[in-house]
A and B are shown apart, each in its own frame.
Chain A
Amino acid sequence: MYETIYHRASSVAEAANLMGTAAEGKYLSGGMTLIPTMKQRLAAPSDLVDLRHIAEMKGIAVDGRSVRIGAATTHEEVATSAALASVCPAICGLASHIGDPHVRHMGTIGGSIANNDPAADYPAAMLALDAVIVTDRREVKAEDFFTGLFETALEDGEIVTAVRFEAPAKAAYQKFPNPASRYAMTGVFVVRRADGGVRVAVTGAGSDGVFRHRDLEAALAANWSPGAVTNVKVDDSDLLSDIHASAAYRANLVKVMTKRAVAAA
């Protein structure tokens, strides 16, 4: 690892100030992607601003069907939240399958979203749930937040502080993990609102990151059942193709994971 200077912030304002004075700083949340990346010398921030001790960025609040999760909330906290499980168990299930227990004790929802790894789980949930990403400067709809591979709408120095969403009537997430890395080779988060509206978000498969599949949404809005997916065509021209899976294979996985998710919702 190259040299770096560690700073610990105790408030969002302090974190932003520290970042403002850093040459090429990075925010550090759980660090479960950033520290391994720095160890491999694939990242070399001059400064790290630790967000893990900022009380205002922690915690889960459920008010009726309205959910707010602080960005520094760990995967373990999301996975085991009884309040969250009572309105949206799908997101608890998603969190419980990220990485391993040790990673879930450190990794945070805000870190995952800000990193926007194309195989990460949370971006699919945020997009399907029509979540709002709250930052220290503004609120951004998930639709506008995830802009490409490891790319987001975040500006320099901007901090994700929380996410907000309305718990839907039904939701489920299913992923096909890579047998070695356990990252999603394809993961699908389905949502059905009380008014019958359906959203289907796919992670791990898109060559431009997480995306919604409108044809699957239309088919499931007309008929909410796994069988409704059968005749939908999933175009593989914009899907990832690598040593783990071809685009055609991933296109098939999109349908299979969607069927499983609808069955599980």
Chain B
Amino acid sequence: MAKLTMTVNGRQVSGTCDDRTLLVHFIRENLGLTGTHVGCDTTQCGACVVHMDGQSVKSCSILAAQAAGSSITTIEGLASNGELHPVQAAFKTHHGLQCGFCTPGMVMTAVDMIRRHGGNLDEATVRAELEGNICRCTGYHNIVQAILAAAAETGGVRQAAE
């Protein structure tokens, strides 16, 4: 058994779990944050994507013990003061979800993508960057549109600020 401490959505948390416990299960079962999903369990679908120390990772393929001491952001950590994060708002506006199961991973992936590319994202890059996220409903078109819209909005704002 491992006793772990990490920062999740800005709050320091600790818990006890098996050394073999996956980060996604620690997040869902120990912390009760069930927004992060398990889709495939074989590292392919990306429904479990969270940010670890600012970078997107597949939480189903990392042990909770590996993440000890790190700073994790989950889908629950994006909205602030009841306001959707711009990427969440763009997914809503552009109908970037249907059943919604893949959406937490898609949104976390999009936030990371925009962090790295800023307002320079184009459609080909977005589609290539979605390599590790699978959606079985929408056919990706509206997801891509939502990410491009959010990139234009938040990337443009960031560039204007610089």
Asked if A99 is an interface residue, CB under 8 A from chain B, the answer is yes
Asked if B76 is an interface residue, CB under 8 A from chain A, the answer is no
A residues less than 8 Å from B52 (CB atoms): 105
Partner of A100, one of B19, B20, B46, B62: B46
Those of B94-139 within 8 Å (CB) of chain A = 109, 112-113, 129, 131-133
* Chain A, residue nearest B20 (CB): A1
B residues less than 8 Å from A52 (CB atoms): 66
Within the complex, what minimum Cβ distance (angstroms) separates A173 from chain B? 17
Complex CA distance for A102 and B58, rounded to whole angstroms: 6
Within the complex, what minimum Cβ distance (angstroms) separates A236 from chain B? 30
Within the complex, what minimum Cβ distance (angstroms) separates A106 from chain B? 6
**Majority secondary structure, A binding face:** mixed
The answer to whether residues A101 and B112 also contact, given A2-B20, A4-B19, A39-B41 and a CB cut-off of 8 A, is yes
Complex CA distance for A5 and B113, rounded to whole angstroms: 34
* Chain B, residue nearest A39 (CB): B41
Asked if A3 and B20 sit within 8 Å, CB to CB, the answer is: yes
Asked if B109 and A102 sit within 8 Å, CB to CB, the answer is: yes
The answer to whether residues A101 and B19 also contact, given A28-B66, A35-B61, A39-B42 and a CB cut-off of 8 A, is no
* Chain A, residue nearest B65 (CB): A6
Asked if A36 is an interface residue, CB under 8 A from chain B, the answer is yes
Asked if A101 and B62 sit within 8 Å, CB to CB, the answer is: no
B residues less than 8 Å from A182 (CB atoms): 131
Within the complex, what minimum Cβ distance (angstroms) separates B25 from chain A? 10
The answer to whether residues A31 and B63 also contact, given A101-B113, A103-B58 and a CB cut-off of 8 A, is yes
B residues less than 8 Å from A265 (CB atoms): none
Those of A29-76 within 8 Å (CB) of chain B = 31-32, 35-36, 38-40, 48, 50, 52, 76
Contact size class for A?
A: 20 to 34
A residues less than 8 Å from B62 (CB atoms): 31, 35, 106
A residues less than 8 Å from B42 (CB atoms): 36, 39-40
Complex CA distance for A76 and B57, rounded to whole angstroms: 12
**Majority secondary structure, B binding face:** mixed
In the complex, given contacts A8-B68, A38-B20, A39-B43, what are 17 additional A-B residue pairs having Cβ atoms less than 8 angstroms apart? A3-B19, A6-B19, A28-B66, A31-B66, A35-B22, A39-B22, A39-B60, A50-B65, A52-B66, A76-B55, A99-B131, A100-B129, A100-B131, A101-B132, A102-B46, A102-B49, A106-B62
Which of B22, B52, B57, B129 counts the most A-chain CB atoms under 10 A from its CB? B57
Complex CA distance for A185 and B112, rounded to whole angstroms: 29
B residues less than 8 Å from A100 (CB atoms): 46, 129, 131-133
Asked if B61 and A99 sit within 8 Å, CB to CB, the answer is: no
Supply 6 A–B pairs (Cβ within 8 Å), ascending by A: A31-B61, A48-B19, A100-B129, A101-B56, A102-B109, A105-B55
Smallest CB-CB A-B distances: 10 pairs: A100-B132, A100-B131, A6-B65, A6-B19, A105-B55, A36-B43, A1-B20, A102-B58, A35-B61, A102-B56
Complex CA distance for A100 and B49, rounded to whole angstroms: 12
A residues less than 8 Å from B79 (CB atoms): none
Asked if A35 and B63 sit within 8 Å, CB to CB, the answer is: yes
Within the complex, what minimum Cβ distance (angstroms) separates B151 from chain A? 15
Q: Mark B24-58, 1 if CB is under 8 A from A, else 0.
A: 00000000000000000111001001001001111
Asked if B63 and A99 sit within 8 Å, CB to CB, the answer is: no
A residues less than 8 Å from B20 (CB atoms): 1-4, 38
Complex CA distance for A71 and B18, rounded to whole angstroms: 28
Asked if B2 is an interface residue, CB under 8 A from chain A, the answer is yes
Complex CA distance for A102 and B2, rounded to whole angstroms: 25
Asked if A105 and B66 sit within 8 Å, CB to CB, the answer is: no
